[in-house]
Every structure is written in structure tokens, then in C-alpha cells.
């Protein structure tokens, strides 16, 4: 249901307001260019600085415009359990296919606290939930054992793993089996991640290279030797782009890249700022090397 190249959608702004028209164009850009799934209101969508109304709006637009053509897993996480429940039940009500829920940041819950947080959300909704484990932003790291406990609940179906630890793929596969969906949150390790048992990515790079990312994901899971070689080739092409997207804090670099491709403006909300001139050159060179510009 949710595999391959799934885009962590940027949220375009105009005069510091949600630019709905551009956002709708972005959704249709992905529908036309092979993206396998849409993830609105995540980290790349600047969820920390979206108002509650904006957060709900970007999910609604995504569901409405995709019209069932692509699955929508809405970012509905929060470090407030009640707020996460509210966002998740709203996403379910408007027709999202599932929810991507980040581990609570700043609070630093224990493993038991993590379990109870997700259990509370699970018990209040009826849509699939993907755990988003990203210690670099959340400080805490959900253990494989805690995920295994959560997998016993009715709605928990997988993880977006942004730990950067490829051994986690093997450990999770051994503990939960192949039906537990494993998606990488790190574009740069997607090839090895898939070789170890992952089924795709929730990707930043897909914002600007949807066809390349989609083809790479498709070929990387093929049993054909020729298609695996094609995946290796695409991975080499994409590597400089992946790197450039994280020279500064995401999503500032990818928004600048999107501006170069006339997809949206590069405005971000404070405390994020636009990228420096040096980073602009790195992004330009990466896009040129991948023949995106």
C-alpha cells in the first residue's frame, strides 16, 4: 500500500501565507511524474511552524487533489499526545490513507512513554500509522523492542527510519517480519536500505526529482540483474543531489532547488532562513550533474 518513492512534500509560502495554488500544482506535478505516495505536513513541510488550521488545510488539499490516485499519509505527529490525536482523527475524517507520526520531540519520553503515546493515538483512530523515528530531531530513539510492542496494536503498520543505522533494518525485519513496512527517511542510504529489506523511502529529493526517485525505487526492488544495475546508476546520479539537500537545515535547500525548477518559491518560515550563496552553488551544481537543470 505504501512503498516506493513517497515525497515529503514541501509547503509553499507566499507573503508568509500558505500558497494554496502552488501547493495544488505541486501535488499534480507528483501525480504526473511517478511519485508513489504523498506525505503532507511532515518535517519537510515545515509542520512545526504551520498553524493548526494550515496543518489541517495542507492535508485536506492533498487528499482532495490526489483523488485516490496516490495514497496520502498525513504528518500528524506532535509532542502533545492530545494534539496528535486531534490531527490524526481529522486526517482520518477527511479521507487520508494513513498517518505518519513522529516520536515526541523535546519531552524526552521513556520507551514506556513512547509506547503509551502511540497506543493512545492508535486507540482513538482507525487508519494505518507509520512511526517516524528520527533521533536527530526528536532527541529520543524508539527501540526495536518498543516498535514490536506497538506492532501488536491494530493500526501500527511500519516505520519511517531516519536513524541512519542500516543495522536497524535487519533487526526490525528479524523481530517483526517482512509485513512490517520499513521506509527510509534518509535518501542517501535508500539503496542499501532496500537491499536489507526496506520497501521504499519518504524522500526529500523526490520534491525535485520525482521521476528519478520513482524509477530508482522501482529498479532497486527488482529481481532483474539489469534493473538492479539501472538502480545503481540512478543512485550514483542522485547521490550529489541527496547530499546537497542537507548542506543546510531541511527544507531550505530543497526549496531553493524547487525555485530553480520553477516549482515554488524558496520562502521558509523562521527560525529557518533561506540558504547562503555558497549553498546555492552546491545545489545548482548538484542539479546540473543530475541534468535536472
**What is residue 258's predicted lDDT score, i.e. its pLDDT?**
98
| pLDDT, position 292 | 97
Label residue 127 by pLDDT band (50, 70, 90): very high
Please list the alpha-helical segments (H only) found in the chain: 20-32, 52-66, 81-94, 111-124, 135-138, 144-151, 167-176, 190-195, 210-220, 225-244, 252-260, 277-289
Predicted pLDDT at 259: 98
Identify the pLDDT of residue 286. Answer: 98
Count other C-beta atoms under 10 Å from residue 178's C-beta: 9
Half-sphere exposure of 289 (CA within 13 A, CB side): 17
Quick check: 1 pLDDT over 90?
no
Q: What is the overall mean pLDDT for the chain? A: 97
pLDDT bin (cut points 50, 70, 90) of residue 236 is very high
- Show the domains of the chain with their CATH numbers: 4-223 (3.20.20.70)
User: Each residue of 158-188: pLDDT tens digit?
Assistant: 999 999 999 999 999 999 999 999 999 999 9
User: What pLDDT, on the 0 to 100 scale, is given for residue 214?
Assistant: 98
pLDDT given at position 84: 98
pLDDT at 119 over 90: yes
Beta 156-161 vs 129-133: how paired, if at all?
Answer: parallel
Q: Which residue has the cell 502533545?
A: 80
Question: pTM higher than 0.85, yes or no?
Answer: yes
What's the pLDDT band for 26 if we cut at 50, 70, 90? very high
Q: What is the mean pLDDT of residues 131-157?
A: 98
Q: How far apart are CA 56 and CA 267, in angstroms?
A: 20
The set of catalytic residues is 132, 160
pLDDT at 244: 98
Angle between helices 277-289 and 252-260 (to 10 degrees): 60
Q: What is the structure's pLDDT at 40?
A: 98
pLDDT, mean of residues 196-215: 98
Residues 6+ apart with CB under 8 A from 178: 197
Amino acid at each position: 500500500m505504501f512503498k516506493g518513492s513517497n515525497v515529503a512534500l514541501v509547503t509553499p509560502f507566499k507573503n508568509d501565507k500558505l500558497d494554496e495554488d502552488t501547493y495544488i500544482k505541486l501535488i499534480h506535478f507528483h501525480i504526473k511524474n511517478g511519485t508513489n505516495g504523498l506525505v503532507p505536513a511532515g518535517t519537510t513541510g515545515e509542520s512545526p511552524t504551520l498553524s493548526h488550521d494550515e496543518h489541517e488545510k495542507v492535508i485536506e488539499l492533498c487528499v482532495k487533489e490526489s483523488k485516490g490516485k496516490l495514497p496520502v499519509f498525513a504528518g500528524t505527529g506532535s509532542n502533545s499526545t492530545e494534539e496528535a490525536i486531534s490531527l490524526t482523527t481529522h486526517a482520518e475524517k477527511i479521507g487520508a490513507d494513513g498517518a505518519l507520526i513522529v516520536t515526541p520531540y523535546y519531552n524526552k519520553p521513556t520507551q514506556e512513554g513512547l509506547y503509551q503515546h502511540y497506543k493512545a493515538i492508535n486507540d482513538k483512530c482507525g487508519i494505518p500509522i507509520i512511526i517516524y523515528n528520527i533521533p536527530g530531531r526528536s532527541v529520543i530513539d524508539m527501540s526495536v523492542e518498543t516498535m514490536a510492542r506497538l506492532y501488536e496494536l491494530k493500526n501500527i503498520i511500519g516505520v519511517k527510519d531516519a536513524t541512519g543505522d542500516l543495522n536497524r533494518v535487519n533487526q526490525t525485519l528479524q523481530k517483526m517480519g517482512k509485513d512490517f513496512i520499513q521506509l527510509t527517511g534518509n535518501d542517501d542510504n535508500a539503496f542499501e536500505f532496500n537491499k536489507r529489506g526496506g520497501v521504499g523511502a519518504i524522500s526529500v529529493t523526490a520534491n525535485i526529482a520525482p521521476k528519478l526517485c520513482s524509477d530508482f525505487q522501482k529498479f532497486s526492488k527488482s529481481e532483474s540483474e539489469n534493473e538492479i544495475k539501472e538502480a545503481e546508476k540512478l543512485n550514483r546520479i542522485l547521490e550529489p543531489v541527496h547530499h546537497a539537500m542537507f548542506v543546510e537545515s531541511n527544507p531550505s535547500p530543497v526549496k531553493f532547488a524547487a525555485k530553480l525548477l520553477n516549482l515554488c518559491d524558496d520562502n521558509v518560515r523562521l527560525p529557518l532562513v533561506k540558504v547562503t550563496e555558497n549553498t546555492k552553488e552546491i545545489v545548482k551544481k548538484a542539479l546540473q550533474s543530475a541534468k535536472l537543470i
